[in-house]
Copies of this chain bind each other. A is one copy, B any other.
Amino acid sequence: MQDIESRCRWHTFAKDEQIIDREDESKDVYFIVSGNVRVVNYSLSGREVAFEDIRSGSIFGELAALDGERRSANVVALTMTDVATLTRNKFEEVLAENPDVAMRLMHRLAQVIRASTDRIMDLSTLGANNRVYAELLRLAHEGVLDENSAVIKPVPIHGDIASRVSTTRETVARVLSDLSKKGLVTREGSQLHLHDVMRLQEMVEEFRGD
């Protein structure tokens, strides 16, 4: 590992600073030493589509490093973020010399493809309301309290959910308000409580957009 580190360069980005611009010619790969980043794209009309938040210990920018083509998305620092970067050539050397590093990267790429496949299915077969329900269930995954209730903390930002499930902030606000009126969710301080996870799971597949 020390050998890999010696080939890296080190950079620090401020909160909200753009780390990769989609138009960049750079093919470097980034390892997050500390901090969090968001992978995001914009339509021509400026609509934001969020792809993934990536935490310390993981990498980004690997697609252009692997295939030499252009950047597929923008990457922005969500917090102050320290990264170690490798040039495309040095990254290829590291992968060729370390089959375990290559295998971990392939595992990560497989996970990205699975998440993309799920999202394409959601976008193809669910209406916007149902996609918001599905996103709440995903966010609740780490905060399961018992078999039918869960907690999401911190309370998710409407714009973040909208960008993750490709709808508007207004739709997210309306859906959360409706769920609150039905007693399915309540906000308590900085937490969002889900009181009937099974009902929400059923609602994901009801009233589909097809």
Contacts and interface: CB of A to CB of B under 8 A. Distances in A.
Interface string A182-210: 00000000000000000000000100101
B44 A111 contact: no
Contact of A120 (B45, B49, B205): B49
A160 interface: no
A117 B117 contact: no
Contacts of A92: 103
18 contacts: A41-B117, A41-B121, A43-B124, A47-B124, A47-B125, A47-B210, A49-B120, A49-B121, A63-B113, A67-B114, A73-B117, A95-B102, A105-B106, A106-B109, A109-B113, A116-B120, A119-B120, A123-B166
Interface of A: 41, 43-45, 47, 49, 51, 62-63, 66-67, 69, 72-73, 92, 95-96, 99, 102-103, 105-107, 109-114, 116-117, 119-121, 123-125, 166, 205, 208, 210
Interface of A is mostly: helix
A103 B114 contact: no
Contacts of A119: 120
A113 B114 contact: no
A44 to B, nearest CB: 5
Contact of A110 (B63, B95, B103, B205): B63
Given A72-B113, A105-B106, A106-B95, A210 B124 contact: no
A114 B45 contact: no
A110 B65 CA distance: 10
B45 A125 contact: yes
A203 to B, nearest CB: 13
